[in-house]
Amino acid sequence: MSKRIVITGLGIISSIGIGKDNFWNSLIEGKSGITQVTSFDTSGFPTHFGGEVKNFNPYQFVSRRRFSKIGRASCLAIAGAKLALEDARASIADYKKERAGICVGTTMGETQVLERINEDWLKRGVDAIQPESIPRYPSNVLSSNVAIELKLKGPNYVIPCACAAGNYAIGYAYDIIRSGDADIMLAGGTDAFSRIAFIGFNRLFAVAPEKCQPFDKNRKGMIVAEGSGMVVLESYENALKRKATIYAEVLGYGLSCDAHHMTAPFSEGIKEAIEKALRQAGVMPEEVSYFNAHGTGTLANDKEECLAIKKVFGEHYKKLPVSSIKSMLGHTMGAASAIETIACCLAVKNDVIPPTINYQTPDPECDIDCVPNVCRRQKINIALNSSSAFGGNNACLVLKKLS
Amino acid sequence: MDKKRVVVTGFGIITSNGIGRSAFSEALFKGISGIKPISLFDTSEFKVKTAGEIKDFRPQDFLGDKGLRNLDRSTRLVNSAAKLALQDAGLEITDANTADTGVTIGTTLGSVNSISEFDKEAMKEGPHYVNPALFPNTVINSPSSQVSIRFNIRGFNATISTGFASSLDAINYAADFIRLGRAKTVLAGGVEELCVQTFLGFYKTGFLAGLKDSSAELSCPFDKRRNGIILGEASCILILEELESALERKVKVYAEILGFGTAFDPYRVNKYSLRTEGLKNAIGTALNKSSLDADKIDYICSGANSTIEGDLFETMCVKEVFGERTKKIPISSVKSMIGECFSASGACQAAGSICAIEKQALPPTINYQEKDDRCDLDYVTGGARNAKVDNILVNAFGPSGCNSSLVISRFRS
């Protein structure tokens, strides 16, 4: 199969910026989007910070009527998709609708809808559950809602593979176009700020009190966040034909499963996914110029991830810049790896590596070059985006600058 | 490049009318219903009292006693089905094959009970007191991941949520992975558990049978009396394998996955539409990909679930695709016996299709009595029937716009 697939549009809604340009400026400035949580009362919790998207005006992207019928995760996904199409200067009207599709990754789905249902149920009984809220919940509505808004009649999938879901979705969309089953795909991830995730991660003692410090010796955990990231994928030929701006070529991807533990990260599995991705892409480890880490800021994740990097890259690891943008955004769950793919695209395009902020104290177990605190101008030919998820599911994507 | 062929070398199934391949197959051709009064939760406040509940499910029988405590019902069901599937295919996961083996599960609401109970517990007791060991169950990919963990399957693990089409889409995702050389063997299927959350969802949105006064609480697809869904629960896992790998293992090949098509109707969420475009496109693509002419389809394993619009919709689509020959193609609904198992349905239909190929017989649509003039096809209503069955079309569609079709065929070397 020789078809080359490229990324030609980026759409992002995040705590550090809405739209590609705002997002990128914040990234290279090392701006943090972490603030006191306002989505719900955190007074009963041990921590109070999160990466919420502020200043998001849904009516800029959906009608009031549509807004009243969908949850926040769908809304973020629609906004991301519209921004991505706009950025690609592509209109679905120019494609056969049957050959335009969407893949969306998520961790919690329409979590806020369910949280509201649970509240009503618990406080006032089954009869208090609003029937109209029910169809907004099932996870498959995420891609459906985007497709309805944009009139996409092609492949339509929600791939809820937790915190690696964005990469899963982009990977499958890449396969779909390569196999000839679609001409254009929107793909990415979305998650709304989740009380359930906030409860759970706090109970696992995995949440940092105020800031996320990946790879730092004194790192205290992850920060729960929300957002959405969507990219436009199409064939290289098609992109050339319509004179689109190409951010990067997708060279391939690799999936693996730790088959080890539901929540504990595991270097062997992470390594497997990276190696598979490199193998499919036909790229040698030494050729990789930037590694975008999963880098959640938990003790276990960062340690295991660094171990995996050393296993794959051998001595090259010392020369390989590895950064975690979760230091700025927190962990946007199912959107994370999609947003990180967008960061990689922009890094490849602009030859700038976004930093890992909040880095103070080196950790001998994480002695990688984490691009501490300040972005770095450097030629980037090949970027890797590694992600891991609950369930031991790993996904790694390889992106290449188009020469 | 030679296209890799994807075959089925076994399956494991747990439904309300049978656990395991032979029990399910026997029930299917005898037309035995699995619908009975619900015992998993209290229905006294509800008008609807029955569902396709799996009554005699003992996960210990399949998985042993260890490591079950924190697993929710969906996870127990899917792991048990996986165990049955591995046994059926004579497949052992070893260090040699684990990296080339994957898992793909279709589920949409499989974790909703766990998610909702976790949240409610935290609200009741305070966020400090909820059991953290139950948090991993709140991700939608938890049932699927637990299959990989239990059986040490390291190639990949994916979950697909597309509502009613989920497990058919999961089978296609798996077949794609085999064709693209990403895996040699995939455990592919679906799971949905029966729980009060899912029941309430279908109940409150008016999709269940028996909600209106004097309407029958009955799963009777295509029948004039049909008035809604009887909810079911199930898990079904197919072992999909690259043909070469199956031949190397010298195992029985049950069927071949020939082709698949999917199309989305981007109109509305949660309301059936009679616009036939999407399913017609899905069927057309599936036939195309199978390199089969429409007249080669011997049987249609229907996605009809006893809703007024859904059954009519499929009838209309099939007629438009197959034209004059439609009335000669038998079409029946497994859901008449096991209810609507939502994301698990497609895989159960695929399993039923494999049984049909094996027995060279068609499973019936049960509970059929009164003819609806608009649904006038051969729905195999007089009990199971012997027939030549080489190529089967399996349809899955729902009120949220998803449409998927799969062609499963008798294996010809």
* A103, A163, A212, A344: the active-site residue: A163
A113, A196, A257, best to mutate vs chain B, most B CBs in 10 Å: A257
SS3 B334: coil
Contacts of A95 (CB under 8 A, 6+ apart): A183, A184
List CB contacts (< 8 A) between A118 and chain B. 116, 119-120, 123
How does strand B361-362 pair with strand B331-332?
unpaired
> Distances from the Cα of A186 to the Cαs of A15, A388, B16, B274, in angstroms?
22, 22, 39, 27
The single residue listed with the structure tokens 């517990």 is B121
Q: A207 - beta bridge partners?
A: A222
> Distance, in angstroms, between A13 CA and closest chain B CA?
22
Whole-number pLDDT of residue A65: 95
CA distance A31 to chain B (A): 30
For residue B403, the distance in angstroms to the closest alpha carbon of chain A comes to 9
- In this complex, do A141 and B400 lie within 8 Å of one another by their Cβ atoms? yes
| Interface contact flag, A109 B140, Cβ < 8 Å | yes
A316 is catalytic: no
Q: Which chain B residues have a beta carbon less than 8 Å from that of A117?
A: 116
Going by DSSP bridges, is the β-strand pair B402-409/A156-159 parallel, antiparallel, or unpaired? unpaired
Pairing of strands A227-235, A184-191: antiparallel
What DSSP state is assigned to residue B31?
A: T
Report the number of secondary-structure helices (H) and strands (E) in chain B: 12, 15
Whether residues A147 and B266 touch (CB distance < 8 A) is answered with yes
Task: Please give the Cα distance from B1 to A3 (Å, whole number).
Answer: 13
Helix or strand or coil: residue B200? helix
Amino acid, res. A304: E
Closest CA to B6 of B249, B190, B177: B177
Q: For residues B364-378, b (16+ Cβ closer than 10 Å) or e, as one string? A: bbbbbeeebeebebb
- Predicted confidence at residue B268, as pLDDT, reads 86
The nearest CA of chain A is from the CA of B158 a distance in Å of 6
Cβ–Cβ below 8 Å for B161 and A155: no
Q: Please spell the DSSP secondary structure of A197-227, one letter per residue.
A: HHHHHHHTT-B-SS---TTBTT---B-BB-E
Residue B243 makes CB contacts below 8 A (sequence gap 6+) with B4, B5, B6, B7, B253, B256
Query: Any catalytic annotation for residue A294?
Result: yes
Residues from chain A contacting residue B6 (CB–CB below 8 Å): none
Give the chain B residue nearest A143 (alpha carbons): B162
Per-residue tokens: B172: 């296609």
B160 interfaces chain A, CB cutoff of 8 Å:
yes
How many cross-chain Cβ pairs, A to B, lie less than 8 Å apart? 231
Joined tokens for residue A27: 């990234």
CA angle at A305 for the pair A381 and A263, rounded to the nearest 5°: 130
Instruction: Spell out the residues 6+ positions from residue B142 whose beta carbon is closer than 8 angstroms to its own.
Output: A262, A390, A391, B72, B75, B111, B114, B136
Span B316-358, pLDDT tens digits? 999 999 999 999 999 999 999 999 999 999 999 999 999 999 9
Helix (H, G, I), strand (E, B) or coil at B134: helix
For B90, phi and psi rounded to 5 degrees? 60, 35
pLDDT at B11 over 80: yes
Q: Which of B123, B131, B156 sits opposite A118 (nearest CB)?
A: B123
- Which one of B45, B128, B204 has the shortest CB-CB distance to A131? B204
Contact between B102 and A203 using a beta-carbon 8 Å cutoff: no
- pLDDT by residue, tens only, chain A of 403 residues: 569 999 999 999 999 999 999 999 999 999 999 999 999 999 999 999 999 999 999 999 999 999 999 999 999 999 999 999 999 999 999 999 999 999 999 999 999 999 999 999 999 999 999 999 999 999 999 999 999 999 999 999 999 999 999 999 999 999 999 999 999 999 999 999 999 999 999 999 999 999 999 999 999 999 999 999 999 999 999 999 999 999 999 999 999 999 999 999 999 999 999 999 999 999 999 999 999 999 999 999 999 999 999 999 999 999 999 999 999 999 999 999 999 999 999 999 999 999 999 999 999 999 999 999 999 999 999 999 999 999 999 999 999 999 7
The structural domains of chain A, ordered by start, are: 5-241 (3.40.47.10), 253-400 (3.40.47.10)
If one counts every other C-beta atom within 10 angstroms of the C-beta of residue A334, the result is 39
The answer to whether residue B269 scores a pLDDT higher than 90 is: no
Q: Which residue in chain B is spatially nearest to A396 when comparing CA positions?
A: B156
Residue of B nearest to A195 (CA): B119
CB contact under 8 A, A390 and B142: yes
Contacts of residue B101, Cβ cutoff 8 Å, sequence gap at least 6: B93, B153, B154, B155, B183, B184, B185, B186, B187
- From chain B, pick out residues whose CB is under 8 angstroms from the CB of A262: 136, 142, 145-146, 149
Strand A248-257 to A5-14 pairing: antiparallel
The continuous run of DSSP H or E covering B277 comes out as: helix B277-289
The predicted structure's pLDDT at residue A203: 96
Does the active-site annotation cover A331?
A: yes
**Catalytic site residue from A75, A103, A212, A294:** A294
CB-count burial class (<10 Å; 0-12, 13-18, 19+) for B58? exposed
A258 CA to centre of own chain: 20
Q: How far is CA B42 from CA A394, B37, B45, B201, in A?
A: 40, 10, 8, 15
Residues in B 6-45 with any Cβ partner in A closer than 8 A: 45
**Residue with the two structure tokens 């009777």:** B220
What residues in A contact B161, CB-CB < 8 Å?
A: 109, 138-140, 158-160
Could you tell me the two tokens for B409? 């065929």
Domain B258-409 has CATH 3.40.50.300: no
Window 236-275 of B: residues touching A by CB (8 A cutoff) are 262-270
C-alpha distances out from residue B389 to A58, A284, B359, Å = 52, 50, 9
**Is the fold of B7-249 the same as that of B258-409?**
yes
Spatial distance between the Cα atoms of B219 and B230, rounded to a whole number of angstroms: 6
Residue A86's Cβ-count burial label (10 Å; 0-12, 13-18, 19+) is middle
Task: Using an 8 Å CB-CB cutoff, list chain B residues near A141.
Answer: 269, 400
Does the complex come out with an ipTM higher than 0.90? yes
Give the global pTM: 0.98
Give CA–CA dist B375/A299, Å, rounded.
61
**pLDDT at position A15, please?**
98
Nearest CA in chain B to A263: B136
Among A318, A286, A327, residue whose Cα is nearest residue A16: A327
For residues B72-81, give the mean pLDDT.
98
Q: Which two tokens stand for residue A61?
A: 């992207």
Which residue in the set A45, A106, A114 is minimally distant from B127, CB to CB? A45
Those residues whose C-beta lies under 8 Å from the C-beta of residue A165, and which sit 6 or more positions away, are A105, A106, A107, A159, A189, A333, A334, A337, A338, A389
Tokens 């406080």 map to which residue? A123
Q: Is A129 helix (H, G, I), strand (E, B) or coil?
A: coil
Asked if B95 has any chain A CB less than 8 Å from its own CB, the reply is: no
Mean pLDDT of B214-223: 95
Q: What residues in B contact A199, CB-CB < 8 Å? A: 118-119, 122, 127, 130, 135
Closest CB to B205 among A117, A134, A195: A134
Residue B135 sits at the chain A interface (C-beta within 8 Å): yes
- Do residues B263 and A154 touch, judged by C-beta distance below 8 A? yes
Closest CA to A340 of A10, A42, A83, A78: A10
Among A98, A179, A272, the residue with its CB nearest the CB of B154 is A272
A246: left (phi over 0), alpha (psi -120 to 50) or beta: beta
Task: Say if the Cβ atoms of A138 and B201 lie within 8 Å.
Answer: yes
Assign B213 a pLDDT band (cuts: 50, 70, 90). confident
Q: Which of residues 292-311 of B touch A (CB under 8 A)?
A: none
Q: pLDDT category, B1, cuts 50, 70, 90?
A: very low
Neighbours of B180 (CB within 10 A): 14
Q: Which of A103, A161, A331, A370 is catalytic?
A: A331
CA distance A393 to chain B (A): 6
User: What's the CA gap between A118 and B168, in Å, rounded?
Assistant: 30
Residues of B with Cβ-Cβ distance to A184 under 8 angstroms: none
Q: Which CATH class is domain B7-249?
A: alpha beta
Amino acid at B241: E
Place of tokens 């990754």: A105
Q: Domains of chain B: which residue ranges?
A: 7-249, 258-409
Q: Do B140 and A122 touch (CB under 8 A)?
A: no
Residue where the block lists tokens 């948090």: B135
Query: Cβ A143–B281 below 8 Å, yes or no?
Result: no
Q: How far is A63 from chain B (nearest CA, A)?
A: 15
Helix, strand and coil in chain B, % to nearest 5? 40, 20, 40
Amino acid identity, residue B395? N
B405 - beta bridge partners? Answer: B261, B395
Choose the closest CB to A391 out of B142, B173, B269: B142
